[in-house]
């Protein structure tokens, strides 16, 4: 009730909103609330936001390692690759076999064993060889490893890098005609000098190896892949060399009888 003498207060007029406008406001409020429920991890870390990646962009993680075998065929093939890691014996400056690895032409492992040298190890050369004392505690003996390697490479093309070092450590030999050494292949030389396997792998295969401790599996695979990618040209050059030597030998054989005839004639004259 209003007291006598007091003026009546006018009620403010309420603005009547269009029902459609009310619905629109409610929708906008709901949208604002839902848009603010994003997680912190969804916010861009940079003012510029994330750069849109094109289909051609490839991260390092997505690049395929060329040394990974394309299949799981571990059969013994016509060509095998070998790599050995050495340890120090004697005064430490003498090398002895500490690990030997062989792969087939696909790069799948045929044989991979730590080897206990005949002499006492004084330097494990871990920074390069990757071999530690615990690895040789249950290692096989040298003669067992030697016999197995000889069986695997017999009658086959032997691929590797600086193979003379591996064969020397194994006290084995192999026919020269069946050796494919990536350190001696002419197109791989630079100014007539041999190149490190890691440089050949990086330049020709696009593979990174020997950045720390050496992995003989990777090294054997790298040598095999270098050979396989150049196999046709490599074998052709060897055939050409063989033909050339054959011709040279024929020429030498033709010259020998003439010299023998003249020497016999001179001998007859002296006797008469």
> Does 236 reside within a domain?
yes
The set of residues, in sequence order, having a beta carbon less than 8 Å from that of 69 and lying 6+ positions away, is: 106, 107, 108, 221
The pLDDT tens digits of the residues spanning 90-145 come to: 998 999 999 999 999 999 999 999 999 999 999 999 999 999 999 999 999 999 99
The residue range of the domain holding 105 is 79-249
For residue 11, tell me if it sits in a domain: no
The CATH number that applies at residue 120 is 3.30.420.10
- 195 is a domain residue: yes
Residue 256: phi and psi, rounded to 5, are -60, -45
The pLDDT value recorded for residue 222 is 97
**What average pLDDT score do residues 12-30 get?**
62
What is each CA distance from 220 to 111, 177, 210, 228, in whole angstroms? Answer: 11, 20, 12, 12
Strands (E), 117-171: 121-123, 140-141, 157-160
The pLDDT of residue 272: 47
pLDDT at 153: 98
Please state, rounded to an integer, the average pLDDT across all residues of the chain: 83
In a domain, 57, yes or no: no
pLDDT of residue 242: 85
Higher pLDDT: 30 or 143? It is: 143
Q: Mean pLDDT throughout 52-67?
A: 60
Number of domains in the chain: 1
Domain assignment present for residue 155? The answer is yes
Contact (Cβ atoms closer than 8 angstroms) between residue 197 and residue 209:
yes
**For residue 124, what are the CA distances in angstroms to 30, 95, 109, 118, 160?**
70, 10, 24, 14, 23
Predicted pLDDT at 253: 78
84 in a structural domain: yes
Question: For the residues 167-196, what does the mean pLDDT come to?
Answer: 96
Q: Which two tokens stand for residue 57?
A: 């962009």
The whole-number average pLDDT for the span 66-87 is 96
61 vs 156, more confident: 156
Residue 31 included in any domain = no
Of 261 and 88, the one with more pLDDT: 88
Residue 21 lies in a domain: no
């Amino acid at each position: 009730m209003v007291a006598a003498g007091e003026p009546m207060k006018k009620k403010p007029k309420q603005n009547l909103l269009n029902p459609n406008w009310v619905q629109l406001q409610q929708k906008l409020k709901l949208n604002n609330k839902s848009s603010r429920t994003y997680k912190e991890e969804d916010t861009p870390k940079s003012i510029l936001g994330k750069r849109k990646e094109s289909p051609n962009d490839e991260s390092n993680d997505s690049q395929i390692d060329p040394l990974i075998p394309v299949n799981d065929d571990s059969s013994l093939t016509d060509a095998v690759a070998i790599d050995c890691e050495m340890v120090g014996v004697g005064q430490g400056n003498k090398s002895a076999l500490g690990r030997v690895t062989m792969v087939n032409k696909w790069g799948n492992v045929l044989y991979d064993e730590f080897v206990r040298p005949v002499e006492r190890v004084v330097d494990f050369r871990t920074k390069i060889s990757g071999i530690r004392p615990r690895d040789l505690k249950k290692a096989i003996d040298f003669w067992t490893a030697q016999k197995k390697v000889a069986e695997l490479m017999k009658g086959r093309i032997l691929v590797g890098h600086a193979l003379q070092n591996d064969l020397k450590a194994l006290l084995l030999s192999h026919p020269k005609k069946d050796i494919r050494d990536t350190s001696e292949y002419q197109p791989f030389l630079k100014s007539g000098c041999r190149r490190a396997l890691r440089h050949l792998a990086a330049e020709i295969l696009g593979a990174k190896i020997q950045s720390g401790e050496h992995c003989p599996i990777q090294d054997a695979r790298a040598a095999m892949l270098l050979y396989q990618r150049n196999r046709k040209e490599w074998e052709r050059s060897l055939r050409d060399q063989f033909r050339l030597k054959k011709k040279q030998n024929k020429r030498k054989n033709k010259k020998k009888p003439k010299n023998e005839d003249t020497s016999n004639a001179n001998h007859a004259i002296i006797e008469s």
